[in-house]
Structure formats: structure tokens, C-alpha cells
Amino acid sequence: MVSGKKLRLFHFLFEMLEDPGMAHCLYWVPASVGVFRFSSTYKEHVAALWGQRKGNRRPMTYQKMSRALRNYTRSGEIIKVRKKLTYQFSGATLTTLRSQQRMKNA
């Protein structure tokens, strides 16, 4: 048991993106709504943090985290952008994420 409440991968990534301190490893791509990119140098750090947050037995890697990201293609939360290490939240997912963020800050 990690904490009791489920934290989804896309929620975690959104949190990282909203944290200025994480900008060196994960950041929004200017000019495109909901598009973000991993730093090729620190992508493994983001994965490691995700694995720690979930309390996984074995360390999380970008390879495994990206596999989970590809599953979102089927469910529609996130789609892959043709550019390297770049993905995009679907409009609906982004709307949900942003509204939840407002409620938290209110």
C-alpha cells in the first residue's frame, strides 16, 4: 500500500509540469496546447520519481513509463506527438486537469 488513493500517471506528469523546479526534465512546449516534452538527459529522473511515488519494487525507467504512456493512446488521455520525447494531453484530459488544479488552489 502506497497511500490509499490512486494517483494516475497523467496526473503525476501534470504535477511535474506545473512545478517550475522540474522544468529541466519535463516541460510544456510553447505554442501548442497540452503538448509537453521530456528532456533526453533527465527523462529517467522523471521515471524514477514516478516509480518512487508508486512505491514499485523495481526502479521505473523511461522505457517502462513510456509503455504506460502508449496505453493512453487507446483510452485517449494522452496522444503521441511525432516529435522526439513529445506527447500531448487530449483536450478533455487537459480541461479536467486544469479544473482540478483550480479547485486545489481555491
Site residues for DNA per CB under 7 A: 1-2, 4-6, 8-10, 40, 43, 50-51, 54-60, 62-68, 70-71, 73, 75, 80, 83-86
Pick between residue 1 and residue 106 the one whose CB is nearest to DNA.
Answer: 1
Cell of 100: 482540478
Name the residue among 23, 58, 29, 57 with its Cα closest to residue 42.
Answer: 23
Name the residue among 12, 5, 101, 88 with its Cα closest to residue 51.
Answer: 12
Shortest distance, position 39 Cβ to DNA, whole Å: 9
Shortest distance, position 15 Cβ to DNA, whole Å: 13
Pick between residue 86 and residue 98 the one whose CB is nearest to DNA.
Answer: 86
Shortest distance, position 106 Cβ to DNA, whole Å: 25
Name the residue among 12, 51, 35 with its Cα closest to residue 85.
Answer: 35
Pick between residue 32 and residue 105 the one whose CB is nearest to DNA.
Answer: 32
Bridge partners (DSSP) listed for residue 82: none
Pick between residue 60 and residue 106 the one whose CB is nearest to DNA.
Answer: 60
Separation of alpha carbons 88 and 32, rounded Å: 9
